[in-house]
Amino acid sequence: MSFRDKPTAPINDELEMQQPETQQPDLLADTDERKRDSWGGKAEFLFSCISYAVGLGNVWRFPYLCYKNGGGAFLLPFLIMLLTVGIPLLYMETCFGQYSATGPITVWKASPLFTGIGWSMIIITFCGSIYYNMLIAWTMFYFWQSISSVTGDLPWTTCSSSWNTGDCVHIRTLSERNRCRRQGGFFAFALNHSCLLPNNASWVMESSDGAMRPFPGNDTPDGTALSTFYDEAATLNSTNTSLLHNFLGSVPAPKTSSDEYFHNFVLSISNGFHEMGLPKWELVLCLLASWIVVILCLIRGVKSAGKAVYFTGLFPYLVLTILLIRGLTLEGSSKGLEYFFIPNWDRLADAKVWGDAAMQVFFSLASGWGGIIALSSYNKFHNNALLDSLLVSLGDGATSIYAGMTVFCVLGYMSHVMSVPIDEVAKDGAGLAFILYPDIVTSMPVSPLWAALLFGMLLTLGFGTMIANVNTLVTSVCDNWSRHLSIGKRPFIVLCAICLLAFVCGLPCTTRGGMFVLQLLDNYSCTYSVLVVGFLELVVITWVYGADNFLDNIEEMNPFIRKSRTFWKIVWQFFSPLVLISVAIFTFTSIKPSKYGLYEFPPSADIAGWVISMLVVMPMPGVAIYKVVTLKGNMSLKQKIHSLMLPHRSWGREMGKKVRRRSRVGNEDMNGDGLPFETSQQPLTSSVLQSVSGVSNNGANIGASTDSRFLRILRGGGVNA
């Protein structure tokens, strides 16, 4: 038996010379492995993973969680969860993809019965890409408006546009209202934004420049009528100024100009699911442009993606640094940093804080999405996966903290400008990105420049994640049907087809009710189902395929891992599953009806959301049943299930098989377990099974090789050695 390629490491020369030079059938090689692309260098893989992990959530989700859960006290459970859960899960997925050199579907040749896990990962990634690119489309719309307003005012700074209502106020007006309240007065939006002070017979109006000036109540006819009542109110103390509200009538809560711009103009948001409306052409164009950018970045597969990630991985840090430096110079920034870093240690006793920390780590690193498996499948076989996992995990955590510093600097500034506590300013999600951020840049000098930088940074963060998501989809499809789709320009056709399908599926998000659709997808397609998929992935790899077998594979790639085998086995088999179970319990027990703002979704919407979640996880039992039913051979149900748990004969890339051959002991005719060498490379037929484990399968052909690793599975009486 000959090796088809020259070994990458020295082997026994005598053994190599004694092997007959016969060409073996290409059953053991990974399908089409010779045509598989690879990263141009280690840096490309690292930047790809960092761009994938560091996304919009690091900027608009983590800072809010940090504030909500005790400021600096939240950093401790976050870092603990990152080290004990984030790094192990990321390392496991990196090794899984690197060893197999295949995508999230084909990688489950390790245990074919559970191939449905890979299909669920693909559905999660596809659904996530639909709504994630809609967020990028909104960001692109804001970015275009920012660079178009370089010589003028930003469009969300005014209350005189066609989309504004009578409740619209400028951010400076809210600042004056808060100053009025601190003086014990009543700020009347209905009376030209006037401040009525109960301590004298005068009322105060807002001037055109946003400052406050005294305006005697008796100087005008309108003021005379008001001052008659106001003189009576002036005898009351400041706690009774609410009587003025009763006299003037109920006034709706004011909305900032940026709030109305986002909801009334950008979204043209409706009153609910019953008013979906037609797609907005501006958003359709932005969504189309977003998908075109993704296609251009992946036009040459990982070759072009590897170059694009240098920009998507570095530019956000440049902008964050610029914004941080600018934020530190703003008045009130120190107050924001105090909220961010000074811990409230009492919150550590709250289980919700630890649950939020674990969820943030789990979702930030995108465990269970399949992206890391796909990205690492393009690595070289002996790449140091542990070092990469450490760098990516710690880089993601450091970016979250760095972004938190930047965000809280400007939150402190807004708190100072508006004269309110930070808890009235802090928001998360779309409210932070498309309402608060525009308010912040509006109050800065040369605001269009800062707006362009801000939304340019959000664009690159979003595209970094989207490139990895779509690459995962393309990799999975091409690997699963590699004989037909991995040739010539066919991967590009697959890329265009996937992006076109996702674009069409995303069109409902461009309608007037699109925000509600997006919230539903976010809540159900990529939250509860991801926890289920991630947990089953961990269990199958460490308990079904076997932690020892998996660590054997890692040793073939990185021999130095031998010293820490026990540690990783304990973490993967016991600690990480317990943490994921805890996160799942925390998540499912805190489920609330979906809502956006004050609008509560109808029960039918939540039912539709649960249907989406079920559709995401259905491939796992569905594919397992299909494989059992279609497995040929006269075997019992138990034998079929057992055989499908064993690795397929083509599991692992050819490099891994060479390493296993070189590690065998004995002469050229015997493998490490004392079986004839030629027998050890045969499929597991009934005679082979019976000889090694005493199990007869009536002649069925079971897809697994009987080298030393697989023999340990059989002799152990089960699939977990």
Task: Determine if residue 53 is labeled as part of a ligand binding site.
Answer: yes
Backbone dihedral angles phi then psi of residue 21, each to the nearest 5 degrees: -85, 70
Distances from the Cα of 570 to the Cαs of 254, 293, 384, 543, 565, in angstroms?
55, 43, 21, 12, 9
Residues in the chain: 721
Exposed, middle or buried, 167 (CB in 10 Å: 0-12/13-18/19+)? middle
Residue 571 DSSP one-character state: I
Strand partners, 216: 202
User: Measuring CA to CA, which residue among 380, 616, 368, 378 is closest to residue 479?
Assistant: 378
**CA-CA distance, 705 to 685, in Å (whole number)?**
10
**CA-CA distance, 96 to 5, in Å (whole number)?**
23
Strand partners, 212: 206
Residue 153 DSSP one-character state: -
**CA-CA distance, 421 to 443, in Å (whole number)?**
18
Exposed, middle or buried, 5 (CB in 10 Å: 0-12/13-18/19+)? exposed
Which structure tokens are listed for 408? Answer: 């809280």
**CA-CA distance, 564 to 551, in Å (whole number)?**
10
CB 131 within 8 A of CB 537: no
**CA-CA distance, 63 to 231, in Å (whole number)?**
47
Task: Determine if residue 58 is labeled as part of a ligand binding site.
Answer: yes
CB 547 within 8 A of CB 572: yes
The residue ranges of DSSP E strands in 422-485, in sequence order, are: none
**CA-CA distance, 378 to 40, in Å (whole number)?**
10
Task: Determine if residue 85 is labeled as part of a ligand binding site.
Answer: no
Task: Determine if residue 461 is labeled as part of a ligand binding site.
Answer: yes
DSSP per residue, 115-138: HHHHHHHHHHHHHHHHHHHHHHHH
Q: How many CB atoms lie within 10 A of CB 200?
A: 13
Which structure tokens are listed for 481? Answer: 């049907």
**CA-CA distance, 251 to 245, in Å (whole number)?**
8
Strand partners, 214: 204
Residue 625 carries which side chain, given as an amino acid letter? I
Going 155 to 158 to 161 to 163, the CA torsion angle's sign is positive
Angle of helix 603-617 versus helix 529-539 axis, rounded to 10: 20
Q: How far apart are the first and last CA of the chain?
A: 29
Task: Determine if residue 495 is labeled as part of a ligand binding site.
Answer: no
Distances from the Cα of 652 to the Cαs of 99, 549, 554, 657, in angstroms?
6, 12, 11, 7
> Which single residue is written with the structure tokens 């809280």?
408
**CA-CA distance, 429 to 437, in Å (whole number)?**
11
Q: How many CB atoms lie within 10 A of CB 338?
A: 14
**CA-CA distance, 348 to 351, in Å (whole number)?**
8
For residue 451, what are the contacts with CB-CB under 8 A and spacing of at least 6? 142, 145, 146, 149, 154, 438, 441
Backbone dihedral angles phi then psi of residue 656, each to the nearest 5 degrees: -65, -35
**CA-CA distance, 500 to 494, in Å (whole number)?**
10
Q: How many CB atoms lie within 10 A of CB 234?
A: 16
Q: Residues comprising the binding site for Na(+)?
A: 53-54, 58, 364, 461
Q: Residues comprising the binding site?
A: 53-54, 58, 364, 461
